[in-house]
Chain A
């Protein structure tokens, strides 16, 4: 019969139309919020989704997975009396690996000896050139530079970030990437323990000799 294919196709669209309202009703009767709730957004981006699957940005936002990456930021540990202990040692690996070369670091020198000391004097990221590839965070040996989740950075001028803008506390890092943070902390603890054990071994060995 001519037109059977068209009717079949229309059946598909009709089913989808029906599903949209059926799903909304089911959620309504179950007393769950399908829209404007994290549960609803998670459902709409799951493999079970049907009906309306769009997310109404900016009222709703997609739930970002832990690994989501945007512009990098610098991590500082909160020391005693609110002192910012910047993790960066200005080793320069991030500046060297950066594909668009958007990281600029001035290494600190000891004013007395002129020898380099492990912290940056200036640190710039040209966020307009940054391609969000994540290499800097991936290859940083000190977990000092981390990719942020904040993607709403549109502005009227160029985004050149200095240290002041880049520094964020380790607690923020923990809040956006809990698993990575836990893994890093475990590694750091293990490293410190190994170091302490080595030092202790050296101490006990020294008097004997």
Chain B
């Protein structure tokens, strides 16, 4: 594996573009500041000359006191190693314009739309710059620091009205509409016509009417969702169809949007921990993990040795139950209603029992703290983990394989149905099992090891065909590899304290930025946190795997039959909690 040290590329990029690229000199910050006009040129060089082929995150930041906006890009190599951070700074005067990187890195598509939607950063050259999480016609850019929500109390928590003179009131009583919303002055709901559908369909227009063989054919738009049972939540896809073949697709998301980032910026650092549980609600342990790593990087604190192992055990148990439910739900999507799904849920129940015993909650665990975890694993729970790992889960995985892997009906349904090829997957920023099933062995536990994963002996599961069958099998492979990690972890776990820090409800975080990334069961989950030394983060951004993975959905679907769409969406394993945030 080629892992060039970050320092060599540091010198190169400034030398390669003198006067255009400068090293970021702010204390606590790394990477480069690129001149706005040369961004596309520099990004092309970063991709082609320096080999950073995977752009994982595009993050807008509003620096209100300095009166500027910033867009931060995190690029990585699919061969592994540390990443490259580059950023553009523009004055905070409307229109805030930054050139779009969609031609260099197509993975920037939805993330640039998100930055436009929430921060009002206009990406020039983006072909379809519509709002994505908020609705078209929404007033204002909610992530800007001078924007206030209807229930606005104060800029940051803790609110002064709670203590020592906490006279209770209900927030809705303070709002004239008695609800968590506000309208523009001249808004009349009776006369309002939503413009978002018009704009959506016009973005699909490029696929319409075409004459073939002298016959004039037309294409129709079909909306799947937002309440379609196979969409794994409130997800909507607008499809253009040529007969039964998909000719174009636009994902429509944001139905579950609650502006997690803004909530996170109002919260103190610690208060964000339970909120991360609500992102990918299947894997709250993994979500905690990523956030803890990001803040620990900022605080520059070590993690207690025993806690590292507990973290790995919890994250891998979480991965096992996620993949088991994935397989069950995939079969649901394909029409094998409930038998495999309930078999999967049986194992998931047992794993959730463990989560409940250690953390107190089955799904919203809130188990990690900066420097360690909340509490130790009790002896009887450790025994149960061992029983599951060494005994039951192995057998149950075999049973799953006996039930499904050779089933001729399933195999003929899955085999040879293309999901995505390696090149497209990397281009569109797909991470996780879908990328690995396409033949790219990119797993952060190996490519950019975090926690104690470098101490375990396991293989990166990889399959090469990139079809549905491989996407199914890779989940089974990953369950087996997770079990391997768990076997070693429960044997090696040392005794000792479970937190390197004293329990404190208000942590001190020095100024700077950190990008904490982990391999969540669905792909790369990353948190970008900027601190200005105050008790609350200045910027808190989540890079959820589900959200970035659906950038590729259109590429996956074009040319396939509409009947495959449901299965293809199932393959991506999206969870709306983290997609819509």
Contacts and interface: CB of A to CB of B under 8 A. Distances in A.
Contacts of A49: 346, 350
Given A47-B384, A131-B274, A67 B166 contact: no
Given A5-B406, A133-B364, A95 B162 contact: yes
Contacts of B4: none
Contact-residue size bin, chain A (C-beta under 8 Å from the other chain): 35 or more
B388 A104 contact: no
Contacts of B399: 12
Interface in A179-195: none
A67 B505 contact: no
Nearest to A97: B505
Nearest to A69: B360
B166 A95 contact: yes
A99 B168 contact: no
Which of A48, A92, A99 has the largest count of B CB atoms less than 10 A from its CB?
A99
B407 A6 contact: yes
B388 A99 contact: no
A35 interface: no
A5 B166 contact: no
A205 B495 CA distance: 43
Interface in A77-100: 90, 92-93, 95-99
A117 B399 CA distance: 64
Contacts of A104: 161-163, 166-168
A105 interface: yes
Interface stretch (B251-259, B317-325, B351-359): B351-359
Contacts of A69: 360-361
Contacts of B199: none
Contacts of A107: 163-165
Given A11-B402, A67-B375, A90-B164, A45 B358 contact: no
Contacts of A48: 387
Contacts of A97: 158, 268, 270-271, 505-506
A139 B358 CA distance: 17
A92 B164 contact: yes
Question: Which of A47, A48, A49 lies at the interface centre, i.e. has the most chain B CB atoms within 10 A of its CB?
Answer: A47
Contacts of B505: 93, 96-97, 135, 139
Nearest to B389: A47
A67 B367 CA distance: 12
A122 interface: yes
A99 B408 contact: no
Main secondary structure of the interface of A (DSSP, over half): mixed
B391 interface: yes
A13 B165 CA distance: 62
A105 B163 contact: yes
Interface in A153-194: 158, 160
A134 B366 contact: yes
B159 interface: yes
B403 interface: yes
Contact of A138 (B158, B167, B271, B374): B374
A171 B402 CA distance: 52
A4 B406 contact: yes
Nearest to B166: A104
A47 B408 contact: no
B202 interface: no
B279 to A, nearest CB: 14
A14 to B, nearest CB: 11
A62 to B, nearest CB: 8
Nearest to A124: B168
A112 to B, nearest CB: 19
A124 B168 CA distance: 7
A95 B361 contact: no
B411 A47 contact: no
Given A67-B357, A92-B163, A132-B361, A5 B411 contact: yes
A26 B162 CA distance: 58
A45 B168 contact: no
Interface in B269-290: 270-275
B409 interface: yes
Contact of B408 (A5, A64, A95, A132): A5
A133 B368 CA distance: 12
A16 B356 CA distance: 27
A69 B362 CA distance: 10
A41 to B, nearest CB: 11
Given A3-B408, A5-B407, A9-B403, A106 B361 contact: no
Given A97-B271, A133-B364, A65 B356 contact: yes
Interface of A: 2-6, 8-9, 11-13, 16, 45-49, 53, 64-65, 67-69, 90, 92-93, 95-99, 101, 103-107, 116, 122, 124, 126, 131-135, 138-139, 147, 158, 160
Report the 3 A-B pairs with minimum CB-CB distance, sorted nearest first: A5-B406, A104-B166, A133-B274
9 contacts: A67-B375, A92-B164, A103-B162, A104-B162, A104-B168, A105-B163, A106-B164, A122-B168, A133-B366
Given A67-B356, A134-B361, 7 more contacts: A5-B410, A69-B360, A95-B163, A104-B167, A106-B165, A133-B273, A135-B270
